[in-house]
Structure 1
């Protein structure tokens, strides 16, 4: 992916955790690859912790290097990357300080990208301050999640930002959409005659989408206790992945064609009746347990968390899509912290053959399955049955495997790297449009409202397990189970 696009990339929250772990490493990898970033492109970090550029570069050296390059750091590339970086010491609480930023970027070339790696409460003040000094022209704004606390607050942010930036200038980022297997899911479905005829209710029995974390809330207790797993993961990441899996073929891969089809899926989600939430939604919170033999504390004893907190750290949902392609097919969504493993995957369970002359093993659910692994390793694996060598017709499950790091030796990009290049080059397809976001909030709100009004604590689960037993029971009612339970 070569580019001649000049740019000035302004990074708000330039000393924050996200900048250190993801954004600057992604920009470094693009720089190191050569040709992905225009030679004239500059990075301007904005923060108030470092006094000057030298102090900021020292901070970057200490906090970014450990997060870059699986193949080791290229010192020459690193040194030349640091030459791209400028720094502006700025107090976001003082709009008058933005004149310093205007002066710093006024002579720099190309499109201006403002990346807001800050809390959502700062989105509107930053945008207004940028407009006050004329920096909202020839610009793109990148908004990190969470964008609001509910539909009302999300609309308030979008309304205010929309007064300053046009919709085509706004890039609402969801890094799961930049992952290679998600892109390959589109290629598999719409580039191959093999899958598309099977991608419908007649041949798909159920679909599972899981994003599981071994980590707890770490140092984010204050934030997480006011957010919870439904807002933090379901409203954005999981529903976006669901819309990619279930969307109709777009007429092209341009940004609005893709996002129009995702929106149709989100609008076709079967509304959740508050009386049925107990049947289709499981809410959990981790207690003390162990991760790979190491004891870990319960959620309520984590720093920043209220001792009597009822915030959920686990959610499992049964979702239905009311359209011709998917009517009657259950989609099971699951996310949680302090689970048994770190994994993100999409599991498509195809229906068993209607009759088998080969015996009952050919009828088992796992015989025909597509597993798209997003992390920790990125693979696509198709399971089917084959005859075991030897006498008799004995069947065994085998798989066809696409491991990206083995098949494609070069050219792999992390999700943030791809998405940041898309922002610089003006490609919107992998970013969330406002109407998509509104549809997602509208669907989750009945669950949020019921959980906030009901006087019921989340179901407990021990850290290091796969969540509350009610999650497995919900799938058992439909004659299936989570993938790891079958194995």
Structure 2
């Protein structure tokens, strides 16, 4: 590369895909199963409108809803309209809505009804002519995994899984990807028995967040960070996903699943992999996945799980000034439930880069605030040429990547306090996306849906990653199953005492976000 090209602003680390920005989907459509659910209403339908509003969908894009409702096309259009008006990120534009809504269709039916899927096939084929979709269809399964097999078999039976020459058919599935390693393998066999592996897109919406993607830029586009991103300088890493809400009426889904299966197996282990992986050859899907799989393969549990794990269940307490009930008092929860609403793990990575560096993962409901962050905490300086009193309260340097809310990066370091004496105190330097860029960040589902329509898979975990994640979590779940009830913790706090004790054994404390 010539100095002239560098001087002109050419970025040698830029993703080659950016050369064709803006990335606009070609002729295509989507069939959405589960249109009556919260995910479809609050995230998927608004994201589709926002993509159209940004000019990233083709003019003939079609959206077919499938559900057990006695709706006509216009009834489905009203459902989408209400969702867009309430939850869309971008302003409402009548011309955009008019063009988008012309491609809405609705097929009533249940998953085991062959006649309903025959009608779906007729509808999809008709849209090829009416809207010019080119035979390209994505099937979004926003439904419980128990129905995946039935839907996939019906799609195959009526010929919707087979693409014609030059066209494609893809399937999108939401987590959970099974509830353990065995079920994950069975689920994968079902889905990949109908769709080719490259046509299966497993959604983890955290990987669509701008801050998560910026973690790669932070590490690999800046010379100042990567040289110290290893066991020589890093003391430990904390990855936190805290929620200030309870189960929010999701007892049917949540009870029996718990915090570890719901969050750690997918979101937090993906964040661990991105934090700890080696630099990929490129950011193509194959190379990115290869490095994540290497990290997940190298993850190990400490020998004694009783000292390296913690779990809890929220009790009654105060949340944001309101008195709230405990988990066992939630509607639909059995009074003897042993499902955890808080989970914490200590993991190790057997690699040259990370040998001896513990990774602490925690997640919970009804905690002090809503926050997701990755904190890389550095070792203390080996020698401080200051008096004891000058640095008595000095902590450890840290880089904190805030995933949500208030996305950004904070660096903590020691600085001299103004005055005649030498006194060093911790200070922070903060970067916020909202303050640094005029562009607003798209919602995660906007990026991920567009990637599905483009066939761009780097942000989607393959079944190898899913299975490796279950291999990490299964031994913990088996251990917990023998331990009885989780420890209670008050709503509005930061988890059970056993989680703090887990850190104290190592001479560390949890960060207070």
TM-score by length of structure 1 reads: 0.95
Partner of 2:109: 90
Check 1:383–1:448 CA distance in 2 against 1; reply closer, same or farther (3 A cut): same
The structure-2 alpha-carbon separation of the partners of 1:479 and 1:309, relative to structure 1 and needing over 3 Å to count, comes to same
Partner secondary structure for residue 157 of structure 1: helix
State the Cα distance separating 1:64 from its structure 2 match. Answer: 4.0
2:160 corresponds to which residue? 135
Aligned to 2:207: 177
Matched residue, 2:151: 126
| Offset, 1:472 | 1.2
CA distance in 1 between counterparts of 2:29 and 2:393 reads: 56
* CA positional deviation for 1:74: 4.0
Alignment counterpart, residue 408 of structure 2, candidates 361, 376, 379: 379
1:272-308 Cα distance to aligned partner (Å, 9 max, x none): 65xx221111010011111111111111111111111
The residue matched to 1:345 in structure 2 has which SS?
Answer: strand
SS of 1:320 mapped into structure 2: strand
Is 1:185–1:245's contact at 8 Å kept on the other side of the alignment? yes
Structure 1 alignment gaps of length 5 or more: none
* Equivalent position of 2:14 in the other structure: none
- Offset, 1:90: 2.4
Q: Say which of 132, 137, 145 aligns to 1:112.
A: 137
CA-based RMSD: 1.7
Residue 468 of structure 2: aligned partner? 439
Q: 1:15–1:64: structure 2 CA closer, same or farther, 3 Å change rule?
A: farther
Alignment of 1:404-483 (within 5 A): 404-454=433-483, 456-483=484-511
Query: For the residues of structure 2 that align with 1:84 and 1:324, how far apart are their CA atoms?
Result: 54
**How many aligned positions are there?**
480
Aligned to 1:290, the other structure's residue is in SS state strand
Return the alpha-carbon distance in structure 2 between the equivalents of residues 28 and 364 of structure 1.
Answer: 51
Q: Is 1:53 equivalent to 2:83 in the alignment?
A: no
SS of aligned partner of 2:337: coil
> Corresponding residue for 1:33?
54
Evaluate the alpha carbon distance shift between residue 280 and residue 132 of structure 1 in structure 2; reply closer, same or farther with a 3 A threshold. Answer: same
Match of residue 287, structure 1, among 312, 315, 318? 315
Distance 2:54 2:276 in 1: 34
Task: Please give the alpha-carbon distance, in whole angstroms, between the structure 1 residues aligned to 2:48 and 2:434.
Answer: 21
Q: Matches of 1:256 and 1:150 in 2, distance apart?
A: 25
Query: What do residues 299-342 of structure 1 show as CA deviations (whole Å, max 9, x unaligned)?
Result: 11111111110111100111111111111101110001111111
1:228–1:312 CA contact under 8 A, matched in 2 = yes
> 4+ residue runs of structure 1 moved beyond 4 angstroms?
359-365
Shift, 1:364, TM fit:
6.2
User: Match for 1:254 among 284, 291, 301?
Assistant: 284
Work out whether 1:217 is the aligned partner of 2:244: no
Deviations 1:351-398 (A, max 9, x none): 121111234566867441111111111111122222233322222333
Q: Contact 2:346 / 2:361 at 8 angstroms: preserved in 1?
A: yes
Tell me if structure 2 keeps the 8 A contact 1:140–1:171: yes
Would the alpha carbon gap of residues 364 and 154 (structure 1) be closer, same or farther in structure 2, given more than 3 Å must change?
farther
Report the counterpart of residue 263 of structure 1 in structure 2: 293
Shift of 1:40: 2.1
Shift of 1:473: 1.4
Name the SS of the counterpart of 1:326 in structure 2.
Answer: coil
Cα distance in structure 2, aligned partners of 1:401 and 1:47: 46
